[in-house]
Structure 1
Amino acid sequence: MIVLTLLSMMVGLAVAGAATGRRPRADFPHRALTLATGAVAGLVGWGIVHAVLGPGAPLATLAGAATVSAVLVSLLARPRTRPLPGPSAPTL
């Protein structure tokens, strides 16, 4: 069980590292925050799937850890700001 816990955290770190590596630095608030979110999300995802499926499905628990990690890391990504279409100042 300890090995799966560590593996789920490593999966979360891998997902967060891949996300920060593929996107420019401006899209994520801070690399350390993104990596920590990935690791914690991997643990949370592992815990949820482990509680639902039980100890007999190690690959499914790791897949759940990766899924939850990807979802939570994607919430950290900031979209690039674009000017809104239309006039820049309201007319009187």
Structure 2
Amino acid sequence: MDQTRGYLDIRDTVQCVELAIANPAKPGEFRVFNQFTEQFSVNELAKLVTAAGAKLGLDVQTKSVPNPRVEAEEHYYNAKHTKLIELGLVPHLLSGLAT
């Protein structure tokens, strides 16, 4: 599967909420925070999980299954996630787990 999605380390969820509270919007300002720090395809995520498991000495097997959702296997995905970084988010990148 090549669908791309945004991902966020669970540890960063609270940090994102804290940053939003500590930096309230100005009166009349509308802000949207996309709460993710990285984008991966489902296949890329599977490779990261497999590599992280191997690093821990686990025998992780990747198995493809049919997509139960009715959607295109590939689609345009270009979500922006810069506002929380601009407020000071220091992310725990999932891509670093496998290295």
Is TM-score (shorter-chain normalized) higher than 0.5?
no
Name the larger-Rg structure. 1
Higher share of residues assigned strand? 2
Normalising by structure 1, report the TM-score: 0.30
Normalising by structure 2, report the TM-score: 0.29
Identify which of structures 1 and 2 has the higher relative contact order when contacts are C-alpha pairs closer than 8 Å and 6+ apart. 2
